[in-house]
Every structure is written in C-alpha cells, then in structure tokens.
C-alpha cells in the first residue's frame, strides 16, 4: 500500500496538471500490452500490464501514463523472470512513463458521443532512456465516459535494451505496444 501511495504521488507530481479537477480524468487500470514476437515466432513473447496509471486533461490535452515494469504478466513465469532481470532490469529501472499532449485537441468534443482520431506527441521513458514519441490514437466518448487507445512500435536499441545473440532470433528488435484506458472524472 505504501508503495502504491508513493507511486501515485510521484505520478501526480510528474504530470503536474494545475487546473480544475473537472478537466482532469484518471485511471489506475490502464491496460498496456507489448508484443516482441518475431515475424515467424519460435514462441510468442507478449505480456500485459493492467495496472497503468493515466491522467488526461481534456482542456489542455495533456496526457500521461506511468506503470511499474514488474506489473507485466507473461504466459510463462520464466519469461517474466528473464524480462525483469535480464532485459528491463526492473530493480534498477522500476517504472516506465509517457508524458505528452494531444496535438489535434480541437478535433475532439469531450461533451459529445463519438470516436475521434488523435495524434499524441511526447516523451516516452523506458529502461531509464527518454525518447520523443508520436502515436496515432483514438478517443471515444460514450454516455459521458472517456476512453483512449493507441498502438505504436518502438525499437529496443533506442532504449538500450539488449537482445543477446543467443536469443536474438526469438525476440523482435521492434516491439509493438498497445494502450487502452477507461477514464473517470478525477475527484478533488
């Protein structure tokens, strides 16, 4: 519990949105998937994290995500162990985060049901390395509820995540990341 409180406090400071709570939407259950399976997989290498935290400011378009790396779950425990110890070094780099902005905020009407295509730009930090990132996404408004989704790819080398030669044919050098978040109005 103490770790969760510290994590939330750090995330809130990280995003630092100083606006009315009525403009801010929040979730602690954003779903982040990644797939590092090669084109012709020997075995599927994918994982899911259902504990991502996200803030969305509908007035400014600021959006942020943060997750604990150790919260990714794999089909096989040995993959999860290798992921945390050998590749992500999750003890040394415990979190990943994205801080950015919806570039075409005027294309979204948060008060009207609809599906809106967006482009998001910002900075993605993984494995202690921060890189500029842009991604296409979708904001859906339905019955006053807001959800967001996106899918994009990153190169492991850009984040200094090594693929040892022994397993290089088992792990794709480009990883597909999919994000889905269902937001609720942030309470004061």
Find tokens 């859906």 and name the residue: 140
Q: What is the CATH number of domain 2-185?
A: 2.40.128.110
Q: Give the integer Cα–Cα distance in Å for 105 and 97.
A: 21
pTM for this prediction: 0.86
Q: Give the integer Cα–Cα distance in Å for 133 and 99.
A: 10
Provide the pLDDT for residue 102: 98
Estimate to the nearest angstrom the gap between the alpha carbon of 62 and the chain centroid: 14
Q: Is 174 within 8 Å of 37 (Cβ atoms)?
A: no
Q: Is 175 within 8 Å of 159 (Cβ atoms)?
A: no
User: Over the stretch 99-111, which tens digit does the pLDDT of each residue have?
Assistant: 999 999 999 999 9
Phi first, then psi: give them for residue 54, nearest 5 degrees: -145, 145
Tell me how long the chain is. Answer: 188
Q: What is the DSSP letter of 84?
A: I
Res 188 pLDDT > 80: no
Q: What token pair was written down for 97? A: 């985060």
Q: Give the integer Cα–Cα distance in Å for 69 and 60.
A: 28
**E strand residue ranges, the chain:** 24-35, 46-57, 62-68, 73-74, 95-102, 114-126, 129-142, 145-155, 174-185
User: Over the stretch 54-73, which tens digit does the pLDDT of each residue have?
Assistant: 999 999 999 999 999 999 99
Provide the pLDDT for residue 21: 63
Q: Give the integer Cα–Cα distance in Å for 101 and 119.
A: 9
Q: Which of 10-14, 43-47, 104-108, 164-168 has the highest mean pLDDT?
A: 104-108
Provide the pLDDT for residue 20: 59
């Amino acid at each position: 519990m103490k770790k969760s409180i510290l994590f939330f406090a750090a995330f809130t400071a990280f995003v630092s949105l100083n606006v009315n709570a009525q403009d801010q939407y929040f979730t602690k259950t954003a779903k982040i998937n990644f797939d590092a399976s090669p084109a012709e997989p020997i075995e599927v290498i994918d994982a899911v994290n259902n504990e991502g935290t996200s803030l969305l400011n509908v007035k400014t378009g600021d959006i942020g995500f943060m997750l604990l790396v150790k919260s990714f779950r794999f089909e096989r425990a040995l993959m999860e162990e290798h992921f945390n110890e050998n590749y992500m070094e999750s003890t040394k780099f415990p979190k990943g985060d994205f801080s950015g902005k919806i570039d075409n905020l005027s294309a979204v009407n948060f008060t009207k049901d609809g599906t809106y295509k967006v482009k998001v730009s910002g900075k993605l930090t993984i494995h202690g390395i921060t890189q500029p990132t842009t991604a296409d996404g979708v904001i859906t408004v339905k019955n006053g509820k807001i959800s967001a989704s996106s899918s994009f790819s990153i190169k492991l080398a850009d984040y200094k995540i090594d693929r040892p030669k022994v397993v290089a044919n088992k792990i794709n050098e480009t990883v597909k990341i999919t994000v889905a978040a269902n937001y609720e109005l942030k309470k004061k």
